[in-house]
Copies of this chain bind each other. A is one copy, B any other.
Amino acid sequence: MTQQSSSLIPHPSSLRWWGWGTLEQSYDLDRRPNFWPILRTRLGVSGDVICPPVEMGAIDLPQSRLSPRDLADLERIFGVDGVRVDRLSRILHAGGKSYRDLIRIRRGEVEHPPDAVVYPGSEAQIGELFAWAKRSRARLIPFGGGSSVTGGVEPVDRPPDVPAITLDLARLNRVISIDRASHTATAQCGIFGPALEAALNAEGFTLGHFPQSFEFSTLGGWLATRSAGQTSTGYGKIEDMVERVRLVAPRGCLDVKPLPASAAGPDVLQMLIGSEGMLGVIVEATMRIRPLPEARDYRGVLFHSFEDGAGAIRELMQRGVDVAMARLSDAEETNVSIALARAPGTRGARLGMRAGQWIVHERGYGFDTSCLMMLGIEGEQARVKRVKKAALEVCKRHGGMNIGQSAGRSWLRERFALPYLRDDLLDRGIMIDTVETAATWSNLPGVYVALKGTLEQAIAATGATPLVMTHLSHSYRDGASLYSTFVGAQRGDPIEQWQPVKRAATEAILAHGGALSHHHGVGRDHAAWLARQHSALAVEAFRALKATFDPEALLNPGVLGVGEW
């Protein structure tokens, strides 16, 4: 297992610096004729582009604080190719992809860019960077794909004399080895989702981790933030998949031994997963992988109510019916999803669709009041067949109607596309953000009702008509996650409008027994609430770990409410 890495740094000029993903891709709204009419009615918006992002030239980027000597030092460590101070690089690393992040960058406000972006190609270089940062009183922000929606990568609040360097891990992107006997793969942590999956697929394996950010997030980022993929119900969250990590900290290197389980004291690995770059840089990980599924069955099941569908998922989990995914939209989300469906291309398809809708209606379901579940099953052919049968039986008992695989196919095709739509909504002056949590089955109904009610009230209080859509996904024997998308016309300053809505939602979640986050993480945006979930003593424990791994607090100050500038 050598540490040598690719010398190629992906060129970021193809990225939408003001939004999601690449310039080549977009959300094909033209093919979805029902979407704008519904949104116009629901939100009272025109649907015209009224606030496009500024041109990059209009951004008044603060000067890099690095002296020529600092720069020379960094170039000595990383090579001339491995240090970037150009506008685009600094802008692309100045923040994540939260609503607040996008509002600011679209207005041309890039207040906290890093003073340089460096691309380590080896652990030795990271060690040299730590030594340099100690001498220079600089602070370091580890950076994977930069898709954080919790303020995880933005060097805010630093005093004017402290330089901030972003450590982009894109060069540490090799798959190091695959252990076919143990079903594990070891990779460098800067590898992006598609590259990792492609390498595993070529050997007949999959990680089975597909967060919505899949195309633009990295293995290290997933581990640092406790990510969950869309099929986490079947494959586990990232913290279940990881067997070992190698962390390079200012105090030294911690290489967790690859073991299936251990009773040697508190779980060291689980202290590092979710540490969001505050303890060290996760440079390498060994992940539990699975054989590529022989078959996949993704289909829609329609329920009379959210409660019915949730009851079905609870039974699936508690009886051990091994589905990869069961994702239940409430009536609001179902309604909008249908409106977002692509118009059928042919007359036959249009007729088929109408016939299907008629059957749905005849059986007492309606796309405006019913709740759509996406049910996904993966694995060996015979297993998929058996689990499908068992799952549909459970669903039927809870009033669920199987509406077939075409809904599943369209979901699979568009599983990573929705963040592009956000950019279109921002163009049109619409507030859109998501909050997510998890709770036990007992607490879940209370969290759902409180979260939806609070969001609707808080948005209405800003003078906008609220649209709140929620789904239940990532399920467990003892509970599940909830994910709400809230939408409303922008009123006044968008960030000032949004802040009280976000705050009220977080308070409602915590007051009703929900998790501060199920998979987005904490970053700087959720840090103030961390003690509410864990108690003050637990946050002190985070501080104690920080002091052990990073005593000079060089790394990512502020995330998890820990570390000073």
Contact B516–A264 (Cβ < 8 Å): yes
Q: Which residues of B contact A541 (CB under 8 A)?
A: 268, 271, 545, 548-549
Q: Decide if A263 is an interface residue (CB 8 Å cutoff).
A: yes
Most buried by B among A255, A477, A538: A538
Sample of 17 further A-B pairs with CB below 8 A, known A181-B442, A252-B535: A182-B479, A183-B477, A225-B263, A226-B263, A243-B440, A258-B443, A259-B479, A260-B475, A261-B479, A261-B481, A263-B274, A266-B272, A267-B273, A267-B274, A271-B541, A320-B379, A544-B547
Q: Decide if A367 is an interface residue (CB 8 Å cutoff).
A: no
Residues on A close to B: CB < 8 A?
A: 179, 181-184, 225-228, 237, 239, 243, 249, 251-268, 270-276, 288, 290-291, 314, 318-320, 322, 379-380, 383, 386, 438-443, 474-481, 513-522, 526, 530, 533-538, 540-545, 547-549, 560
A440 to B260, CA, bound (A): 6
Contact A545–B542 (Cβ < 8 Å): no
A290 to B319, CA, bound (A): 9
Closest to A317 in B: B183
Contact A263–B542 (Cβ < 8 Å): no
Contact A522–B182 (Cβ < 8 Å): no
Contact A515–B264 (Cβ < 8 Å): yes
Q: Which residues of B contact A227 (CB under 8 A)?
A: 263
Contact A265–B441 (Cβ < 8 Å): no
Q: Which residues of B contact A514 (CB under 8 A)?
A: 259
A192 to B228, CA, bound (A): 36
Contact A260–B479 (Cβ < 8 Å): yes
Provide a sorted-by-A list of 22 A–B residue pairs whose CB atoms are within 8 angstroms: A179-B442, A181-B441, A183-B318, A183-B478, A184-B440, A184-B478, A226-B262, A259-B479, A259-B514, A260-B438, A260-B477, A261-B438, A263-B521, A263-B522, A265-B274, A265-B560, A267-B271, A268-B534, A268-B538, A270-B270, A537-B548, A544-B547
Contact A265–B182 (Cβ < 8 Å): no
Q: Which residues of B contact A535 (CB under 8 A)?
A: 252-255
Contact B542–A478 (Cβ < 8 Å): no
CB distance from A518 to the nearest CB of B (A): 6
| Contact flag A537-B254 (CB < 8 Å), given A259-B515, A518-B261 | yes
Contact A513–B258 (Cβ < 8 Å): yes
